[in-house]
């Protein structure tokens, strides 16, 4: 269950990310595909991601404000030297979906560099998605969990030269539990009941919101599975519904 929650946080919590890129002008030294890949990996603020629809669920033919956000980037170097183009210069059509920053002093993510006379002019479409479709939609850069920090269950066999305590320092989670008495009888049937998660995001969604959203998604998936199992265990109900014309 703990690993299911971890995998859900990584791969099934939706975010916004640039998915379509139209190049109007590109005279830089980088190929279109290279720049498009960089644009897709820019983390976008996704606190309001639930307000957007998936493209597959939207009634529009291509894209609209209900399922996407438009970005514009138009920069031309007119001076001597090198002009650095960053994510700060992406202009969004929605103020709630913009590139992630770490404050006013954040220099932004470097996209490319231009020399005098070079120009980049592109139109981007950001869409809602999940990381099991592409890693650019993952809200997390790292999710790890730990259980039994004192190794009371003896699931770990430490390799050491002189001292386990000196060569294998305890994590901060050890303060939440007590070390088992070495003279007490070992309970070989004991199982872990507490898991400590460390969730690090790319900034698009707060870590606590990622945990809440992943828990809700996992509950919905388990609920769907439960309903399917109930239907499988009660085939008479399904057959009766089909006879009444209420099930297809």
How is residue 40 annotated by DSSP? H
Cβ-based neighbours of 169, under 8 Å, separated by 6 or more: none
Helix 207-233, helix 2-11: angle, nearest 10:
110
pLDDT in tens, the chain (248 residues): 999 999 999 999 999 999 999 999 999 999 999 999 999 999 999 999 999 999 999 999 889 999 999 999 999 999 999 999 999 999 999 999 999 998 888 999 999 999 999 999 999 999 999 999 999 999 999 999 999 999 999 998 989 999 988 999 999 999 999 998 888 899 889 999 999 999 999 999 999 999 999 999 999 999 999 999 988 888 776 555 555 555 44
Cβ(145)–Cβ(198) under 8 Å?
Answer: yes
d(C-alpha 136, C-alpha 134), whole Å: 5
H helices present in the chain, as ranges: 2-11, 32-40, 164-167, 207-233, 235-243
d(C-alpha 196, C-alpha 238), whole Å: 43
Q: How many CB atoms lie within 10 A of CB 141?
A: 12
């Amino acid at each position: 269950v703990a690993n299911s929650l971890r995998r859900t946080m990584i791969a099934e919590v939706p975010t916004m990310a640039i998915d379509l890129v139209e190049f109007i002008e590109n005279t830089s030294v980088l190929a279109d595909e290279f720049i498009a890949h960089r644009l897709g990996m820019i983390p976008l603020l996704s606190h309001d991601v639930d307000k957007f629809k998936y493209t597959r669920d939207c009634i529009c033919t291509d894209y609209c404000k209900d399922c996407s956000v438009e970005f514009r980037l138009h920069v031309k170097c007119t001076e001597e030297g090198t002009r650095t183009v960053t994510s700060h210069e992406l202009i969004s059509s929605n103020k709630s979906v913009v590139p992630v920053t770490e404050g006013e002093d954040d220099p932004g993510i470097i996209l490319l560099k231009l020399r005098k006379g070079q120009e980049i002019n592109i139109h981007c479409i950001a869409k809602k998605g999940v990381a099991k479709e592409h890693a650019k939609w993952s809200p997390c850069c790292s999710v790890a969990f730990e259980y039994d920090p004192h190794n009371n269950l003896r699931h770990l066999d430490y390799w050491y030269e002189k001292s386990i305590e000196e060569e294998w320092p305890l994590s901060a989670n050890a303060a939440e539990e007590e070390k088992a008495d070495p003279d007490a009888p070992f309970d070989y049937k004991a199982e872990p009941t507490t898991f400590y998660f460390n969730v690090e995001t790319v900034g698009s969604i707060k870590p606590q919101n990622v945990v809440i959203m992943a828990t809700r998604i996992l509950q919905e998936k388990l609920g769907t599975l439960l309903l399917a199992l109930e239907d499988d265990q009660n085939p008479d109900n399904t057959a009766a519904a089909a006879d009444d014309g209420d099930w297809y």
